[in-house]
Amino acid sequence: MRQAYTQKEQGIKELFAGHKLSYPPKQIFLRVFKQEMLLELWVAETPGQAMALLKEYPVCASSGDPGPKRKRGDGQVPEGFYQINHFNPHSNFHLSLGLDYPNRSDRLFGDRNDPGSAIYIHGDCVTIGCIPITDEGIKELYLIALEAKANGQQAIPVHLFPCRMNGTSYQALLAETRESLKLPEFWANLKQGYDIFELNKIVPKVQVDRMGKYLFNQQ
């Protein structure tokens, strides 16, 4: 961690200053697009304020297919709405940020015995179901997330999508999976949350109903 601060802290401060944003941040939000192999970092000056895109990190390796993770060992990267619940400075993949997978929706739809666990955003460039953004990328993102937490952000949301949920990518994905009954319905539910953020750049509050469907409230 000390090495990461030495190498990255000044550059991070300059990155925020270049976007006219305060550092350390009060609110951050991460958005991942599996098909585009991209992680977005968004920042807001205060809770409830519209967010600004600060940086995009390439996801350098992937596994699995379009669609959510449903059981241990399926190689799938999850899709859905999560939060960072673990900061691991001693990861085998340099540094890592753990997600609270499985969430309630995953437990209802996934394997009842073992839907899997231990999904991380991490360094290096290998994966079986996680999100690697290289050692240099995770050094920067880890420090920003750690500073946001230290600055009062209790929950850092992470939204994972199969692709950008508008335009040709999404339509092509639907066409490729037209024989599936479950995936288009699941993705339509994800798209509701995606569209709310796209409209006003404010992260919606997310809940899960008793059937496993995501519900959204604009904050």
Query: What is the rounded CA–CA span in Å between residue 37 and residue 60?
Result: 7
In the residue annotation, 159 being an active-site residue is answered as no
Query: What is the rounded CA–CA span in Å between residue 144 and residue 49?
Result: 18
Q: Which residues have CB under 8 Å from 213's CB, separation 6+? A: 105, 189
**Three-state DSSP class for 213?**
coil
In the residue annotation, 60 being an active-site residue is answered as no
Candidates 86, 94, 130, 159; catalytic one: 130
Nearest alpha-carbon partner for 60 in 3, 7, 134, 115: 134
To 5 degrees, how large is the angle CA 93–CA 98–CA 103?
145
Candidates 19, 90, 94, 122; catalytic one: 122
DSSP 8-state symbol, 46: S
Cβ atoms of residues 122 and 132 within 8 Å: yes
Cβ atoms of residues 126 and 134 within 8 Å: no
Active-site residue set: 122, 130
